[in-house]
Amino acid sequence: MLSLEFILLVISLLILISIFLTKLSDNFGVPSLVLFLVMGMIAGSDGPGQIEFNDYELTKSIGLIALVFILFSGGLDTKWKSVKTVFWSGLSLSTLGVVMVTISVGFFCNYFFGFGLIESFLLGAIISSTDVAAVFSTLRAKNTRLKGCVRPLLELESGSNDPMAIFLTVLIIEAIISGVPSTFSAVLSLIMQFGIGGIIAVISGKLMVKLFNKLKFGNDSLYVVFAIAFALLIYAITTLLKGSGMLAVYISAIIIGNSDFIQKRSTIRFFEGIALLSQIVMFLALGLLSDPSELLPVTSTGLIISGFLIFAARPISVFISLIKSKFSIKEKFFLSWVGLKGAVPIILSTFPIIYGIQGGYNIFNLVFFITLSSALLQGWSIPLMAKVFKLEEPEPEEEIIPIKMSSRVQINKEMIDLIIPYKSEIIGKPLADISLPEESLIVLITRNGEYVVPSGSTTLEEGDTLLVLVNKENVNEVKQKLMRVHH
């Protein structure tokens, strides 16, 4: 039995090395997940690390917990405003798109390799979901910004197709174990999963915001602890009630992230950290679990399936799912290229082994190989593709306004812009002589395109544009003072 200290030493060193490796991935544009996986493989039983780790059940649990935090953090960060415009396209991609990939990969493997039909569909379902972290880490590393609505769509798709992939995988495994279900029961269970998941998401999301704002914890750190427990609670309850736990976690996080609540900023930051840690731990575990020596025999099969997935299945699913959308052909080609695979397929590929499905190990190795090759091939080339399809956007101009104000919870202040009317009565009067009501302040004057810093002796001119900080109750009085004109 290894001592606790030794295990901790190994784990902490692995995590630290992985973090240093992200620098490397920034330089080469390789998605960091590949490096984490390789790190795990090197440390594993086949590599120089020689660490024996064969616990599929434990890996699956680690993976699911990590996924809860990754989706929760992703949801918190998702701006509803930007996602709203691509909602239906995203929904179509993450439902119809996932089904299309499953079916096309399924038929391909059945026809081309002679795999059993249902096992082929299982493989298709497992590799159907995409990973947002893999996409965005390379974009960020190469400082590439995407034009238009492609980015929010990718974000929404990769967050919401995991539940569908999980659902299909479990459904097909059940079909293998206990016979193919009737269409009716399959559809019913789909509705149950997503219906219950959705309902719990809305209730719990709103509840958490309420609780955050109502409960006054003495210790600020308790808020994040509360949020961690709450995220796990949402997953557990929903799954126990036969709903889609991941869906509930993701949607509730979107609701929470788009509401105002105390400690919002620190909570989101904290979850970003947790999500990163989850990713590292999860990929390390998955890398440890795999045996590189067993990947060799599946190389050719894996490459062919990977190629089919990248050049046929994904484009087909994108073009069909978005047939009614307003996305251009170029955007659709780009979207087809960024169907990067990430953690979810590998986590799902432990399922067949755990359920004792015949050929389970083969599926695990294949999926592992496909994920690696997709991340490698597509990962580094995303910035290039953005250039090819002309979807790059220059860095936005930095907000360089001397003052910034966002309304917070229960703050009754507001920043308004006012234009000093022509023939205004206050032209030529020093600001000090204009007695604005309590709790109101002219914070900035803009005159003919240039800033003027207001002081007591500053006089206003016609057409000056002011930013005024006001107490909402005093707005009318402020207007009266500043907006009077000579008739």
Reduced to 3 states, what is the DSSP secondary structure of residue 430? strand
- Spatial CB neighbours of 376, under 8 Å, sequence gap ≥ 6: 30, 34
CB-nearer residue toward other proteins: 220 or 414? 414
Query: Does 483 engage in binding with other proteins (CB under 8 A)?
Result: yes
The beta strands (E) that lie in 38-151 are given as 145-146
Contacts with other proteins, 139-178, as mask; x by CB under 8 A? ---------xx-----------------------------
CB-nearer residue toward other proteins: 4 or 329? 329
Looking at 297, 423, 430, 432, which residue binds other proteins (CB under 8 A)? 423
Looking at 22, 85, 213, 259, which residue binds other proteins (CB under 8 A)? 85
Q: Are residues 175 and 118 in contact, defined by beta-carbon separation less than 8 angstroms? A: yes
Nearest approach in angstroms of CB 413 to other proteins is: 15
CB-nearer residue toward other proteins: 57 or 414? 414
- Longest CA–CA span in the chain (Å) reads 92
Q: What backbone torsions phi and psi does residue 452 show, to the nearest 5 degrees?
A: -125, 125
Residues 342-361 that bind other proteins (CB under 8 A): none
Strand order in the sheet with 413-419: 413-419, 465-471, 440-447, 450-452
Candidate segments 36-44, 167-175, 235-243, 443-451, binder of other proteins by CB under 8 A: 443-451
Looking at 183, 400, 410, 453, which residue binds other proteins (CB under 8 A)? 400
Candidate segments 232-240, 283-291, 296-304, 412-420, binder of other proteins by CB under 8 A: 412-420
Rg (alpha carbons) of the chain, rounded to whole number:
27
Looking at 258, 465, 471, 474, which residue binds other proteins (CB under 8 A)? 465
Query: Does 462 engage in binding with other proteins (CB under 8 A)?
Result: yes
Looking at 183, 397, 453, 457, which residue binds other proteins (CB under 8 A)? 397
Query: Does 117 engage in binding with other proteins (CB under 8 A)?
Result: no
Q: Which two tokens stand for residue 72?
A: 């929760």
Looking at 13, 16, 354, 401, which residue binds other proteins (CB under 8 A)? 401
Residues 340 and 277: their CA atoms lie apart, in Å, by 20
In the DSSP assignment, the letter for residue 97 is I
Looking at 45, 82, 381, 474, which residue binds other proteins (CB under 8 A)? 82
Looking at 189, 447, 469, 477, which residue binds other proteins (CB under 8 A)? 447
CB-nearer residue toward other proteins: 179 or 396? 396
- Amino acid of residue 289: L
Nearest approach in angstroms of CB 189 to other proteins is: 36
Nearest approach in angstroms of CB 323 to other proteins is: 21
Nearest approach in angstroms of CB 73 to other proteins is: 22
Reduced to 3 states, what is the DSSP secondary structure of residue 116? coil
Size of residue set near other proteins by CB under 8 A: 38
Residues 84 and 369: their CA atoms lie apart, in Å, by 35
Residues 305-334 that bind other proteins (CB under 8 A): none
Nearest approach in angstroms of CB 404 to other proteins is: 8
Candidate segments 11-19, 193-201, 266-274, 410-418, binder of other proteins by CB under 8 A: 410-418
Residues 377-396 that bind other proteins (CB under 8 A): 396
Q: Is the dihedral of CA 235, 238, 243, 249 positive or negative?
A: negative
Q: Which two tokens stand for residue 305?
A: 């399936």
Looking at 450, 453, 456, 457, which residue binds other proteins (CB under 8 A)? 450
Nearest approach in angstroms of CB 388 to other proteins is: 21
CB-nearer residue toward other proteins: 67 or 86? 86
Q: Which residue carries 């499905």 as its tokens?
A: 357
Alpha-helical (H) ranges within 296-405 are 299-308, 314-321, 329-337, 343-354, 360-388
- Amino acid of residue 184: F
Note every long-range contact of 229-237, with CB atoms under 8 Å and residues 24 or more positions apart, other chains counting: 230/204, 231/68, 231/69, 231/72, 232/65, 232/68, 233/204, 234/200, 234/201, 234/204, 235/68, 237/200, 237/204
Query: Does 241 engage in binding with other proteins (CB under 8 A)?
Result: no
Residues 352 and 122: their CA atoms lie apart, in Å, by 9
Q: Is the dihedral of CA 375, 380, 383, 386 positive or negative?
A: negative
- Would you tell me which residues interact with other proteins (CB under 8 A)? 81-82, 85, 148-149, 396-397, 399-401, 404, 416-424, 444, 446-451, 462-465, 467, 475, 479, 483-485, 487
